[in-house]
Amino acid sequence: MNPSTDSQAVPPTPITAPRRVLPVIVLAQLLGTSPWFAVNAVMPDLQRVANWGPQALATVSSALQAGFIVGTLVFALLAVADRYSARRVFFLCTLGASLCTLAAAASSASLPALTTWRVLTGVCLAGIYPVGMKIAALWFPRGLGAALGWLVGALVLGSASPHALRALTMASAPAAAGAVGADAVLAVFYTVAALCVAGGLAVLLLVPEPPQRAARPAGGLQMGALVCLWRDRNVRASAGGYFGHMWELYTMWVLVPLVLATRLADSVAVSWAAFLVLGAGALGCVGGGLLVRRWGGARIASAQLATSGLCCLAAPWMLQASIPVFMAWLLLWGITVVGDSPQFSALTAINAPPQAVGSVLTLVNSLGFAISALSIELFVRLATTTPLASVLPWVAVGPMVGLWLMLPLLRSPPNGTR
What domains lie within the chain, and their CATH numbers? Answer: 19-209 (1.20.1250.20), 225-418 (1.20.1250.20)
- Burial class from Cβ neighbours inside 10 Å (0-12, 13-18, 19+) for residue 106 reads middle
Confidence (pLDDT) at 201: 96
Half-sphere exposure of 221 (CA within 13 A, CB side): 19
User: pLDDT at residue 16 above 80?
Assistant: no
* Rounded-to-integer distance, Cα 344 and Cα 354, Å: 17
Determine which helix (DSSP H) or strand (DSSP E) holds 109, and give its type and residue range.
none
Confidence (pLDDT) at 221: 61
On whether the CB atoms of residues 101 and 121 are closer than 8 A, the answer is yes
On whether the CB atoms of residues 371 and 247 are closer than 8 A, the answer is yes
Confidence of residue 355 (pLDDT cuts 50, 70, 90): low
Confidence (pLDDT) at 144: 60
Give the three-class secondary structure for 84: coil
Buried b (16+ CB within 10 A) or exposed e, 265-279: eebbebbbbbbbbbb
DSSP track, 2-58: -----GGG--SS-----TTHHHHHHHHHHHHTGGGGHHHHHHHHHHHHHT--TTHHH
Give how far the C-alpha of residue 289 lies from the chain's centroid of Cα atoms, to the nearest Å.
16
Q: Which residues contact 360 (CB under 8 A, 6 or more apart)?
A: 225, 228, 229, 235, 348, 352, 353
Confidence of residue 142 (pLDDT cuts 50, 70, 90): low
Half-sphere exposure of 256 (CA within 13 A, CB side): 35
On whether the CB atoms of residues 42 and 105 are closer than 8 A, the answer is no
User: pLDDT at residue 9 above 60?
Assistant: no
Please state, for a pLDDT cut of 90, what percent of the chain lies above it: 47
* Rounded-to-integer distance, Cα 55 and Cα 104, Å: 18
Give the three-class secondary structure for 388: helix
Q: What angle do CA 69, 363, 41 make, to 5 degrees?
A: 30
User: pLDDT at residue 278 above 80?
Assistant: yes
Lowest-pLDDT choice from 104-108, 150-154, 283-287: 150-154
On whether the CB atoms of residues 86 and 29 are closer than 8 A, the answer is no
pLDDT digit string, tens, across residues 187-236: 899 999 999 999 999 999 998 887 654 444 445 666 666 677 777 888 88
- Burial class from Cβ neighbours inside 10 Å (0-12, 13-18, 19+) for residue 338 reads buried
Confidence (pLDDT) at 409: 86
* Rounded-to-integer distance, Cα 122 and Cα 129, Å: 10
pLDDT digit string, tens, across residues 60-113: 999 999 999 999 888 877 878 777 888 999 999 999 999 999 999 998 889 999
